[in-house]
Structure formats: C-alpha cells, structure tokens
C-alpha cells in the first residue's frame, strides 16, 4: 500500500508540469509578430525590406570561417625503443577531421537590418 502512495505522489508533479507546458504551448500558438508601420502597407514593406537587406549585406558580407567540431588527437609513434624505456620519439598530432562552417557576420547583419527598418519607421510588434 505504501508503494502505491509513493508512486502517486511522485507521479503528480510530472503531470502538473506536463499540463503546464501543454497549456502554455496552446496559448502561444495564437501569437503573431510582424513589422508594423503607421502609414505604409505590405508593398512598401517589401521594398523597404529589400533595401535594408541589400544595405546590411553590403555592410556585413557573409564571413564563413571553419572551426573544428571536435578536438584533434595525438597518436603514439610507430617506433618503439626495444630496451624498455618506452617510445623513442614523440607522437604525431592529427587535427580534427570535422570542420563546422560559421558565419561570423550574421549577428551584425541582423542588427543592421533591424536598425535600417527602424530608421524607415517600421516597428516590430508582438501581438497576442
């Protein structure tokens, strides 16, 4: 009997958190965000967006740099000193085989795009 009561007590917090997550996700489904301007319409937004994308790409072009995804390793040498003193020479270093591309200007380009649209009068609005 005590085993079942322990199971119920430990099971309830999990259900409460699951219900909370599901409820919050349903509430957020109805949210919408977009750029708003008091005077301009969607056609004007498309033109301004194109101008700002072009300007931000000119200021901060893509800068793709490759960084290692995992560390390299050092392997033991093939030659072994036969008199019990261990390896005769140092090991060989092998760099990582996996390189991950990363655009280092992406964050600056996004900031320049947003500030350009803000300068043209557009504001990012979050609606419920």
CA distance 122 to 115: 9
- Residue 88 has what pLDDT? 47
- Residue 116 has what pLDDT? 95
DSSP reduced 3-state for 74: strand
- Residue 77 has what pLDDT? 57
CA distance 39 to 119: 14
Question: What digits encode the pLDDT tens for the residues 10-27?
Answer: 555 555 566 776 666 655
pLDDT band at 49 (very low <50, low <70, confident <90, very high): very high
| DSSP class of 102 | E
Q: Is 44 exposed, middle or buried (0-12, 13-18, 19+ CB in 10 A)?
A: middle
- Residue 84 has what pLDDT? 47
Q: What does pTM read for this prediction?
A: 0.56
Please answer whether residues 73 and 52 qualify as being in contact, where contact means their C-beta atoms are separated by less than 8 angstroms. no
In sequence order, the 6+-apart residues with CB closer than 8 A to the CB of 121 are 37, 38, 39, 40
Question: What digits encode the pLDDT tens for the residues 71-113?
Answer: 666 666 555 555 544 444 556 666 677 778 889 999 999 999 9
Q: Please compute, for residue 118, the number of CA atoms within 13 A of its CA located in the half-sphere on the CB side.
A: 8
């Amino acid at each position: 009997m005590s085993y079942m009561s322990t199971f119920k007590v430990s099971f309830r917090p999990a259900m409460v958190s699951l219900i909370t997550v599901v409820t919050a996700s349903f509430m957020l489904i109805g949210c919408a965000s977009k750029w708003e301007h008091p005077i301009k319409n969607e056609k004007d937004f498309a033109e301004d967006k194109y101008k700002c994308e072009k300007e931000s790409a000119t200021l901060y072009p893509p800068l793709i740099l490759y960084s290692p995804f995992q560390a390299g390793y050092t392997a033991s040498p093939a030659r072994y000193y036969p008199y019990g003193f261990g390896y005769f020479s140092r090991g060989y270093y092998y760099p990582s085989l996996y390189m991950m591309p990363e655009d280092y200007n992406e964050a600056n380009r996004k900031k320049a795009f947003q500030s350009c649209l803000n300068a043209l009068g557009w504001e990012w609005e979050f609606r419920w």
